[in-house]
Amino acid sequence: MPSAVKKTGQILIKGISNPDELNLDGQLPFYSFKRFFVPEKEGLFDYQNNKLRDKKSVYPERSQRALVGMNILDMKAVNLYDQVFEKDPYYQARRRNILIVGYSLTPEIENNIFEHKYEEDILEHLPFDIFLADYNAPSSRELRNSPPLKLRGGSGGLYKVFTGSIKGQRILEHFGYKDYEHIQFSGPIKEGEADKRMERLRDRLKNHHNLKIWEELGQRCIECGKCTLACPTCFCFRIDDAPAIKENLGERSRCWDSCYYQEFSEVVGGHKFLDNTAKRIHFWYFHKFARIPDEFNFMGCVGCHRCAAVCPVGIDINKVLEDIENS
């Protein structure tokens, strides 16, 4: 049961067997829950000589997993995976076996750049099986000293409990908990008016390409790719064949890639369409704030600020977005 736990000052996601280890103080885990949905590497096929054998029967993630205490920002990223990998049988096989237990406490503003807040009306736009809404913990400081999660039914309970799937209902009822409210998922986007910040950023990126921003960032960025690893919405991948030690055997697999890497856009003959750092960092931002909005009508950034936290040269997404908006 991978869950948020606190170690060496960082919130990490670890398998737990004792509920006391669970930490729900509103801090973002250092890494997101991405790898449980889109693993860093996964086999697609085995091959022998020139015959491919489907790996379907041996998906390693067959086993069931519960992700407990997922914050709203990381849950928003799941909406993106669900769209991008909608027709992907490897993703779907894994997704079916994931139980999401969401939690309402939102990270503090510095790590929540779009100031996403928990409000009951966002629940129908989040993918979860069970959701724990904490109504009695206004500040995360108080909560750190509060006793570990206890679910009590009826009035006076610390948490209001929601379900977002039949699976979630079954689990709660199995443990004799009936005082929940069911929320029907109605898609990732709130009806009504479009997200104004998304519209503005997309318009700037598509219609007012400002070379200066990207050239300046291109000077600073060292293309380490850390932001793409830490980012919950970076999902791009490459597909490779790798031989096994035994002759004529091997595996076709896909693994995370990064648009910061030089060979990302290289075609036969060596030509690279993204042939400098400025173009590559622009590609990263364009994907999140123009291409994903065009495809799915929501932003490809959940505002978690993890990219800035890991950036060795101090590129702060918040500042970059301001620059784009003011360009």
Partner 1 sequence: MHNPYQPEPAKIVSISRQTSSVKLFRFEFAQNIPGWKFSYQPGQFVELSLPGFGEAPFAPCGGIKEKYIELCVRNVGKLTARLHAMKVGDRVAVRGPYGNGAWPAGKYDFKVQKNLFIAVGGLGLAPLRSLLLGKNYFLGKDTKVQIFYGARNPQEMLFRHEYENWKKLKIKMELTIDKEHAGWKGHTGLVTTLFDKCDVLQNSVAFLVGPPVMYKPVLERLKKLGFADEDIYLSLERRMHCAVGACQHCAVGSYYTCKDGPVFSWAQIKNIPDAI
Where do contacts with partner 1 occur on this chain (CB under 8 A)?
Answer: 44-45, 47, 49-52, 54, 56, 84-85, 87-89, 92-93, 206-207, 209, 235-241, 243, 250, 252, 254, 257, 259, 264-269, 271, 273-274, 279, 283, 286-287, 290-291, 294-295
Q: Which is nearer to partner 1, 224 or 236 (CB)?
A: 236
Q: Which is nearer to partner 1, 114 or 286 (CB)?
A: 286
| Minimum distance, C-beta of residue 295 to partner 1, in the bound complex (Å) | 7
Q: Which is nearer to partner 1, 88 or 323 (CB)?
A: 88
| Minimum distance, C-beta of residue 191 to partner 1, in the bound complex (Å) | 23
Say whether 238 sits in a helix, a strand or coil.
Answer: strand
| Minimum distance, C-beta of residue 56 to partner 1, in the bound complex (Å) | 7
| Minimum distance, C-beta of residue 65 to partner 1, in the bound complex (Å) | 20
| Minimum distance, C-beta of residue 230 to partner 1, in the bound complex (Å) | 17
Q: What is the DSSP string of 58-116?
A: G-GGGS-EEEEEE-HHHHHHHHHHHHHTTT-HHHHHHHTTEEEEEE-PPPPGGG-TT--
As a whole number of angstroms, the distance between CA 42 and CA 226 comes to 20
Does an H or E element contain 293, and which? Answer: helix 292-296
| Minimum distance, C-beta of residue 130 to partner 1, in the bound complex (Å) | 26
Q: Which is nearer to partner 1, 34 or 116 (CB)?
A: 34
As a whole number of angstroms, the distance between CA 129 and CA 169 comes to 8
As a whole number of angstroms, the distance between CA 25 and CA 141 comes to 8
CA distances from 239 to 32, 93, 283 (A): 23, 19, 20
Q: Which is nearer to partner 1, 29 or 250 (CB)?
A: 250
Q: Which is nearer to partner 1, 56 or 62 (CB)?
A: 56
As a whole number of angstroms, the distance between CA 49 and CA 141 comes to 60
Q: Which is nearer to partner 1, 108 or 275 (CB)?
A: 275
The burial of 136, by beta-carbon neighbours within 10 Å (0-12 exposed, 13-18 middle, 19 or more buried), is given as exposed
As a whole number of angstroms, the distance between CA 317 and CA 34 comes to 19
Largest alpha-carbon pair distance within the chain? 69
| Minimum distance, C-beta of residue 110 to partner 1, in the bound complex (Å) | 29
As a whole number of angstroms, the distance between CA 155 and CA 134 comes to 13
